[in-house]
Structure 1
Amino acid sequence: MTFSRRSFLVLSGISALAAAGCGTASGSGIRNTKTLRYQGAAGAVTPPELAASLGYLGDLKLDWVGDTISGPQDIQTAASGQTDFGGAFNGAVVKLASRKAPIKAVISYYGSDKYAFSGFYVTENSAIRSPRDLIGKKVGMNTLGAHHEAMLDIYLKKHGLSRAEAKQVERIVIPPVNTEQSLRQRQIDVGVLGGILRDKALEAGGVRKLFSDFDLRGAFSAGTYVFTERFIKQNPETAKTFVTGVGRALDWSRTTPREEVVARMTEIVAKRKRNETNAALKYWRSYGVSAPGGRIAQKELSDWADWLTERGDIEPGRVKVPDLYTNEFNAGKKTGS
């Protein structure tokens, strides 16, 4: 079963997210489950899946319930209890928390660096050359209100476009695997491509980069995995095993020769038999998480709380960022942030 964002919103609603945090006397005991339900990504290997393959999760098992291309949907699903953890862009984590969803970020799992950046691409002969050229144009991205839309807003503001002008840039939801084709067929004017899909498109030629998140902000961790506060209270040892294991896997992927990492990922995809292709794995280069053990820095969340406040998406002071994340379950290497 694969959950969609629409079905989640219809079935659960924001009120259900708040209710998920209300424990009962009978349900408040320590459980430390040995199975975690989660959503994956077709043709890709997530850090938890890599950690499980490397043996870093011990006897903790991952139970795949479907795939998703949307970070906001993934953490909403976790907040409602349909899965046990989910991951999303930190701005989406802040926004969901502002609606009183009882979630807590526990480890970074993706970011931007010189290998893992997301770029905004146009066709080679496109007339789009500057930020102002985007007014009235269609920009395709995997989901709205998340990483890519944030980067677009930052780019437009940095180059002097007013909020009214920025609103004239149309944001279109396009599945990542369809973005290149949609761009080449002129269904969109700009397409966001990252990592594997970006490199594949560049290899084929005929596209050029307008800008990237790495151009705008340099290297940074961009997204975190979350548990509900109730899950953490009931499963503290499970949380520690998961967070520490995923952190070790991130460190392993960063310090191990790329060829060995890709070989391991290819083996994982072959073994899980999900009727998917592993062709894109040969383009993998990095998860983009530079902090040792994937530990979270407060700035990685506070920056997006400020962005959402400025946009009017959340009220000032609605979210207390220090309460939104924790590194207490991460027994891996520490960073000074």
Structure 2
Amino acid sequence: MTPTASTGSTATTRRRFISTLAVAAAAVPVTAACGSAAGGARRTSTLRYQGWTGQVTLPELAADLGHLGDVRLRWIGNTISGPQDVQSAATGQVDFGGAFNGAVVKLQEAGAPITSVIGYYGTDAKSYTGFFVLADSPIRSPRDLIGKKVGMNTLGGHSQAVQDLYLRRNGLSGADIAKVESLAVPPVTMEQSLRQGQLDVAAINGIFRDKALAAGGVRTLFKDLDFLGQFTAGSYVFRDDFIERNPDTVRAFTAGIAKTIEWSRQRPRAEVIDRMTRILRSRGRNENADALRYWKSWGVAGAGGVMTDREFDTWRAWLEDVGQIKKGRVKAADLYTNEFNPYAGGRGGR
């Protein structure tokens, strides 16, 4: 069954959300809105999206591999923030967006008419978010973070949630945690900011993490894998009305991403890196491809990005505990669907 907006109080909340975002949605250029299908169409041939500087996203890799079928991607710019990306999807400025699942929970609780359709990044032994300090830093314990500056790609996202959980589980009070200064820093300059002393701690993941480790002179203070284990951390979302109008497109997109996740697992790492490097160099965005050689894994836990309640419940519970959402307002099962994923139910992509 295609996901639709919930009924009752949640539907009312979503109507309020749509109303408050009306100005933002109206500001989207007419040309940018052309990708959405109209009337009773079941698919649109083009999906608008935002990319990341110096990185190749799973949809970009999937498109290059031909895994999206006749669905095409149209890049409209870059983002450095998952929450901003899914907000853009919620307001119709792009057709899909990807973010940390905690940000998805928070946005949906606020009434955003969106549904997660596939997990796209996560934490495992090869891919995790580490909080790094310089090798000679005096910071060695959770309490040492009080009064220090911690850089992360965005506020209210994965890194800040992990940091807060780490500090709470190590006995710091809310007042102590409030004294830890979290700063938003673009991922491409995070390592440099740490080395130049502009930050005391830097939350770095993916290719930028391994690049920093390879350069030396930094050490890991803690990482999410240590106390959360392996999990899928983020998902791609579509607006509910887009899913209703274009179920075949969403199915093709989801199946293509799922296939690409498994392709990446099965192929030699060097082949994946070479493919992404070629994509980045050919798209003409004036980017440096050097960091791509450090890619190791997407970190996705489930086969083909299939999602589970746990991947949303961890962050739902945390958001409730810190008072950012009301208790009992959202249920994990209402936030996502595996309906479009060919790997759901153990189908193995068939």
Q: Please give the TM-score of this superposition, normalised by the length of structure 2.
A: 0.88
Q: Deviations over 1:9-40 (max 9, x none)?
A: xxx997117997xxxxx955234101000001
**Which residue is equivalent to 2:249?**
238
CA distance in 2, matches of 1:307, 1:260: 39
Which residue identity lines up with residue 250 of structure 2 in the other structure?
A
User: Residues 335, 142 of structure 1: CA spacing in aligned structure 2 closer, same or farther, 3 A cutoff?
Assistant: farther
Which residue identity lines up with residue 259 of structure 2 in the other structure?
R
Secondary structure of the equivalent of 1:208? strand
The alignment status of 1:183 with 2:188, answered yes or no, reads no
The alignment status of 1:133 with 2:130, answered yes or no, reads no
The alignment status of 1:292 with 2:303, answered yes or no, reads yes
CA distance in 1, matches of 2:324, 2:177: 15
CA deviation after TM superposition for structure 1 residue 333, in Å: 5.4
Secondary structure of the equivalent of 1:276? coil
Q: Residue 101 of structure 2 is aligned with which of 66, 72, 90?
A: 90
CA contact (8 A) 2:338 2:344 kept: no
CA contact (8 A) 1:32 1:237 kept: yes
User: Residues 14, 74 of structure 1: CA spacing in aligned structure 2 closer, same or farther, 3 A cutoff?
Assistant: farther
Q: Please give the TM-score of this superposition, normalised by the length of structure 1.
A: 0.91
Task: Structure 1: state its 5+ residue gaps.
Answer: 1-11, 21-25
Secondary structure of the equivalent of 1:165? helix
CA contact (8 A) 2:304 2:343 kept: yes
Secondary structure of the equivalent of 1:199? helix
**Which residue is equivalent to 2:11?**
none
**Which residue is equivalent to 1:326?**
337
CA distance in 1, matches of 2:300, 2:241: 27
Note the 1:218-237 alignment, pairs <5 A: 218-237=229-248
CA deviation after TM superposition for structure 1 residue 216, in Å: 1.8
**Which residue is equivalent to 1:153?**
164
CA distance in 1, matches of 2:346, 2:171: 36
CA RMSD of aligned residues (A): 1.9
CA contact (8 A) 1:121 1:211 kept: yes
Which residue identity lines up with residue 88 of structure 1 in the other structure?
A
The alignment status of 1:313 with 2:324, answered yes or no, reads yes
Q: Residue 212 of structure 2 is aligned with which of 194, 201, 205?
A: 201
The alignment status of 1:212 with 2:212, answered yes or no, reads no
**Which residue is equivalent to 1:30?**
41
Q: Residue 181 of structure 2 is aligned with which of 163, 170, 173?
A: 170
CA contact (8 A) 2:86 2:104 kept: yes
**Which residue is equivalent to 1:265?**
276
CA contact (8 A) 1:91 1:301 kept: yes
CA deviation after TM superposition for structure 1 residue 123, in Å: 0.7
**Which residue is equivalent to 1:67?**
78
Deviating beyond 6 angstroms after TM superposition, the runs of 4 or more aligned structure 1 residues are: 17-20
CA deviation after TM superposition for structure 1 residue 255, in Å: 1.4
CA contact (8 A) 2:18 2:112 kept: no
CA contact (8 A) 2:42 2:248 kept: no
Secondary structure of the equivalent of 2:21? helix
